[in-house]
Amino acid sequence: MSLRSVATCPRSLRRFFSTSGFGFPPRPAAPQPREEAEPSTNLFVSGLSKRTTTEKLREAFSPFGEVIHARVVTDHVTGYSKGFGFVRYAKIEDAAKGIEGMHGKFLDGWVIFAEYARPRPQPPSPQNSGYAN
């Protein structure tokens, strides 16, 4: 195809004949491996069924140690589980047993995953909010 015929083709097709690198979308960055969280008494549990309740989560993790707190995060409108929750044990050793005992196991017909919870990231400082004082 000659340059003359490219110049006469519709504008939407010109990018197919372009030799510049601007016609191609950028390649997505390779996913960064997530680093392991520090061992703590707080566990993050994912892969929960929408029907899983806080009571069922507590019952499932209680054979591995004293559960101080269990919570399934729910949707405010439907009341169903968002698919994840948290379990807090009295001792770090119990939390390790909880991960070992429940990671990859079934709860309410779904395979769940347990890992140490990561701390929340720090909120941005108020000085960078963009508002004038």
- What's this model's pTM, rounded to 2 decimal places? 0.68
pLDDT digits (tens, 9 = 90+) for 64-83: 999 999 999 999 999 889 99
Classify domain 42-116 at the CATH topology level. Alpha-Beta Plaits (3.30.70)
pLDDT digits (tens, 9 = 90+) for 72-113: 999 999 988 999 999 999 999 999 999 999 999 999 999 999
The proportion of the chain whose per-residue pLDDT surpasses 70, expressed as a percent, equals 70
Token reading at 13: 């097709």
Please tell me the predicted confidence (pLDDT) of residue 90: 96
One-letter amino acid of 61:
F
Task: Using the Cα atoms of residue 101, residue 104, residue 105 and residue 107 in order, give the sign of their dihedral.
Answer: positive
Count each helix (H run) and each strand (E run) in the chain, helices first.
4, 6
57, 127 contact by CB (below 8 A): no
H/E stretch holding 97: helix 92-102
Residue 130 phi, psi (nearest 5)? 95, 0
